[in-house]
Amino acid sequence: MNQKCSPEMRERVLWMLDQVRASGEHPNLMTAVRRVAGLLGVSPETLRVWHRRREVDTGQRPGVPTEMIRFLDEHREWFGVEFLCRVLEDVVPVESFAAEDVGEHAGRVYDYHLEHPELERLLRWEGLAFDAGNPDDERRLGLYRDKTAAVEAGQRAGSVTEEIDADHMIFLILSLAGWWSSVPQVARMLTGSDTDAERARRRESVVCAARRIARPD
Same fold, 7-57 and 71-214: no
Q: Where are the domains of the chain?
A: 7-57, 71-214
| Nearest residue to 125 (alpha-carbon basis) of 173, 65, 185 | 65
Side chain identity, residue 192: G
SS (H, E, C) 34-61: HHHHHHHCCCHHHHHHHHHHHHHHCCCC
Give the chain's length.
Answer: 217
- SS3 state at 101: coil
Q: Whole-model pTM above 0.85?
A: no
| Nearest residue to 187 (alpha-carbon basis) of 206, 174, 172, 173 | 206
71-214: CATH class: mainly alpha
**Is residue 16 a contact partner of residue 1, using CB atoms and an 8 Å limit?**
no
Cα separation of 19 and 36, whole Å? 10
Nearest-5° Cα angle at 164, 162 to 168:
130
List per-residue pLDDT tens for the chain, 217 residues long.
444 567 777 888 888 888 888 888 888 888 999 988 888 888 888 888 888 888 877 877 766 556 655 655 555 555 555 555 555 555 677 888 988 899 999 999 999 888 888 777 777 776 766 655 555 567 677 788 889 999 999 999 999 999 999 999 999 999 999 999 888 999 999 999 989 999 999 999 999 999 999 999 7
Of 1.20.1440.230, 1.10.10.10, 3.40.47.10, 3.30.1490.20, which CATH number belongs to 7-57? 1.10.10.10
**Is residue 119 a contact partner of residue 87, using CB atoms and an 8 Å limit?**
yes
Distance from chain centroid for Cα 82 = 17
